[in-house]
Amino acid sequence: MNLLIELLAFAVAIGVLVVVHEYGHYSVARLCGVKVLRFSIGFGKPLFQWVSPKTGTEWTIAALPLGGYVKMLDERETGGAPIPVEALPHAFNRQSVWRRFAIVAAGPVANFLLAIVLFALVFATGVTEPAAVVAAPAPNTPAALAGFDGGETIVAVRAENAGESEHVRSWSDLRWKLLGAAFDHKRVVLSAKDAHGTSDFQLDLRGITEKDVDDDFMSHLGFEPGGGKLTVAGVQPDSAAQKAGLVVGDRLRAINGIPTDNATAFIAYVKSHAGVPVTLQVERGGPAASKLEDVRIVPQSQRDDATGQQIGRIGAELATQVPSIDVRYGPVESLQLGARRTWDLAVYSVRMFGRMIVGEASLKNLSGPVTIADYAGKSARLGPSAFLSFLALVSISLGVLNLLPIPVLDGGHLLYYLVEAVTGKVVSDRWQLVFQRAGLACIVALSAIALFNDLARLIHF
């Protein structure tokens, strides 16, 4: 069943993104008076064809759905057959350089516009997210050095020396604001509320390296969602947890006197105490008759497959219930936030790709169709908001990828047109052929790396 959901979600995602991208090319070509011969979703053998009696465009759905194309009237692609004189003004190659530029750029632009709309829909319809309550940070992390003890609710962020405070609505909102500041290696001031009032905390992000800016970015800073309840959801047979008497439903309040409300911090503490007795403060019973008990437990020492080191495990499954908030915006603000989120993600994608080229970021960040299908299925199961956000993210990635100055991609053609606009001369067919071969080699190499990463994630090697 999960495989079926993944395949359906993947098909919907790819179908929507390809249609939007190619319709961007098609619509601007029509506006510029260029005749479009074929609009194809997919490659290879046509499964469905229909010719518009009004425009003469052939609409096609082909057998291989991983992409699509718009074929326009062009003297260079007729195989030597002459084009009627009256049709020449509608040929793509007869258009001015800026019209050709606009037609080619319209595809990626359409992907960015789609992302803005999708994000705006998510912001306008509302989404439930973890509140910006922080757990007790790990020692020597930027959050700990800033003075956070855990339990504070971050309400605003601003640059250290200038700028207005930006309101923080949720954990996701906080993450995006800190991500932008980390890219610029800034110091920021976080305003946070606790039981004693509102205080300012100076967070130094100048030491954050490019390798730290990944999926675990907030963990590198020492930030984890807090303020919730950490509960035992399962106990493995013959485990340290069972021997110590932990049972399902126990609420973990502290470990060795350190308050705990976050699974990540709790697990990290247990891992660092292999074979060393620790004392858990456990809350048991219902709300009317709850009581606190101390449970002494010795984490079992096991070898970590990733690092080869001995780590501690207690054999308990944990569940975290963190405070959540319903985030909803008005129509205008939703569009503004959608545009900003799209811009931030596009800039992040470009920076990350550049760092992969110069070796500052791992090529493992590249993903292929298997990973996309996996995330499509997971986001679809989480609900409409998650799937729309995923679709917007992939749409941005597709737009950025197509704007890269690699021949055979839209960005390569745009580079040709810029050269033509500056020099007044069209890039020769000979050089275009050389660049296309080099560009094709780049695309094949990137595809191979992405497929390898997919397989590595799938079979864990």
Taking the C-alpha atoms of residue 15 and residue 75, their distance in angstroms, rounded to an integer, is 30
The strand pair at 187-194 and 166-167 is best described as unpaired
Q: State both tokens at 121.
A: 């829909």
Distance of CA 350 to the CA centre of its chain: 13
Beta bridge partners of 436: none
Which of 445, 438, 440 lies closest to 356, judged by CA? Answer: 445
End-to-end CA distance of the chain: 26
Q: Is 22 a catalytic residue?
A: yes
251: left (phi over 0), alpha (psi -120 to 50) or beta: beta
Residue 11 in 3-state DSSP? Answer: helix
The DSSP code for 133 is B
Other beta carbons within 10 Å of 382: 12
Burial 52-64 (b: 16+ CB within 10 A, else e): eeeeebbbbbbee
Which of 111, 172, 40 lies closest to 402, judged by CA? Answer: 111
Residue 72 Cα distances to 42, 76, 96, 233, 343, angstroms: 16, 11, 15, 60, 31
Q: Which ranges of 189-262 would DSSP assign to H, the alpha helix?
A: 217-221, 240-244
Taking the C-alpha atoms of residue 429 and residue 289, their distance in angstroms, rounded to an integer, is 83
Sign of the dihedral defined by the CA atoms of residues 300, 301, 305, 306, in that order: positive
Which residue out of 22, 129, 152, 224 is catalytically annotated? 22
Report, as residue numbers or ranges, the catalytic residues: 22
